[in-house]
Structure 1
Amino acid sequence: MKFWDWYLKISVVSALIGGSMEFFMVKTGFYDKVTVLESEKRAWESSPEAQAIREALNPWRNRDTETTKDT
C-alpha cells in the first residue's frame, strides 16, 4: 500500500476528533438534556391535544385507510 501512512494519520485524527466530541457531550450533560426533551416530546405527542391537532391537520387520513380496506 502506497499511502499507508496517510490513511493511518487520517484515522487517528478522526478518532481523536470523535472522541473529543463525545467527551464534550458527556461533560456538558448533553445526553441527559436530550433524554428529557425526547421524553417530553413523546408524552406530548400521545396527549389528546396533540392527537386533535394531528387530526385537524390531516382530516383525510381516515378516509384513505377506509378506501384501502374496501378495495
Structure 2
Amino acid sequence: MKFLDWYVKIAVGAFLVGGSMEFFMIKTGFYEKVTILESEKRTWENSLEAQAMREALNPWRNHDAEAKKNP
C-alpha cells in the first residue's frame, strides 16, 4: 500500500489524542460528576412536579388516546 505509513501515523495520533482526553476526564472526576447530574435529572423527571409541568405545557398530548377509548 502506497500510503500505509500515513494511515498508521494518523491512527497513532488519534489514539494519543483520545487517550489523553480520557485520562483528563478520569483525573478531573468528570464521570463522577456526570453520573450525579444524570441521577438528579432522572429523579426530577419522575417527580410529580415534572409530570404536572409536562401536562401543563402540553395538555393535548393524551387527547388522541382518550378519543380512541371513547368512540
Q: Same fold (TM over 0.5)?
A: yes
Aligned AA (1:49): E
Aligned-partner Cα distance in 2 for 1:56–1:50 = 10
Question: Could you say if the C-alpha distance between residues 9 and 69 of structure 1 is closer, same or farther in structure 2, counting changes exceeding 3 Å?
Answer: farther
Show the counterpart of 1:5.
5
Gaps of 5+ in 1: none
- Percent of aligned positions that are identical: 72
Q: For residue 26 of structure 1, give the secondary structure of its aligned residue in structure 2.
A: helix
Aligned AA (2:49): E
Q: Tell me how far 1:21 sits from its aligned partner.
A: 0.2
**Higher percent of residues as helix:** 1
CA RMSD of aligned residues (A): 1.6
Aligned-partner Cα distance in 2 for 1:69–1:50 = 26
Aligned-partner Cα distance in 1 for 2:68–2:31 = 42
Q: TM-score, normalised by structure 2?
A: 0.92
Q: Deviations over 1:5-60 (max 9, x none)?
A: 00000000000000000000000000000000000000000000000000011100
Q: Tell me how far 1:70 sits from its aligned partner.
A: 6.4
Q: Tell me how far 1:65 sits from its aligned partner.
A: 2.1
Corresponding residue pairs, total:
71
Aligned-partner Cα distance in 1 for 2:52–2:40 = 18
Q: Tell me how far 1:64 sits from its aligned partner.
A: 2.1
